[in-house]
Amino acid sequence: MTKLFLVRHGQSQWNLENRFTGWKDVDITELGKQEAKQTGEMLKEEKIDIAFTSKLIRAQHTLKIILSETGKTDIPININEALNERSYGTLEGLSKTKTAKKYGADQVHIWRRSFNIAPPGGESLKNTYDRVIPYFENFVKPQLQQHKNVLIVAHGNSLRALIMYLEHLSPEEILQREIATGEPLTYSLDNQMNIIKLGKKYLSFY
């Protein structure tokens, strides 16, 4: 049995401002830093052998704080854009409220919550899944199969893709899943990536 810890970055400045972020490199807020510290406290007693994160500063900064809190600053860290948030294309930087007024709430909901439909110039959740899962299978899964405990700090939609894969969820099911900032989700897995135990107390639905 091995453990996989999934963490969405702490609150970012554009989370606070309710703006589409995507691949824009926006750092975490003071609340985001506190969320990362709390995550570190939660994981302090866990064995963590290796970490993976995206190329975006909000995920890297969150990971740095978590590792500092846990005292595991010497473990290997792998950074790759495959774990980046989904791209929101031309919507990035725009207010979600103003965008809904411009295009209609229904259209914005489709862009945000459809599995196959991407916002203008951006990625759908399926596009995100198609880059996250090959990376996971080629680089993360081998570590887990060597019985190493893995920490991944990434983003709402890149983590949705992983959760969909790990829990064998349908597109309809995964679209109902929300991942709160700065709350660890813990999977205990066997060598075939079957879930033995899921730390449900860290799941957030809203």
Contact call for residues 7 and 151 (beta carbons, < 8 A): yes
- Work out the percent of the chain whose per-residue pLDDT is above 70: 97
- Interval 1-19: pLDDT, tens: 899 999 999 999 999 999 9
Residue 77 has pLDDT above 80, yes or no: yes
CA 105 to chain centre: 25
Contact call for residues 86 and 123 (beta carbons, < 8 A): yes
- Interval 141-165: pLDDT, tens: 999 999 999 999 999 999 999 999 9
Question: CA-to-CA distance for 190 and 144, rounded, in angstroms?
Answer: 9
- The token pair at 94 is 């725009």
pTM: 0.94
Work out the average pLDDT over 63-91. Answer: 97
Q: Which residues are catalytically annotated?
A: 9, 85
The domain spans of the chain are: 2-202
Pick the CATH number of 2-202 from 3.40.50.1820, 3.40.718.10, 3.90.1150.10, 3.40.50.1240: 3.40.50.1240
Question: CA-to-CA distance for 46 and 165, rounded, in angstroms?
Answer: 24
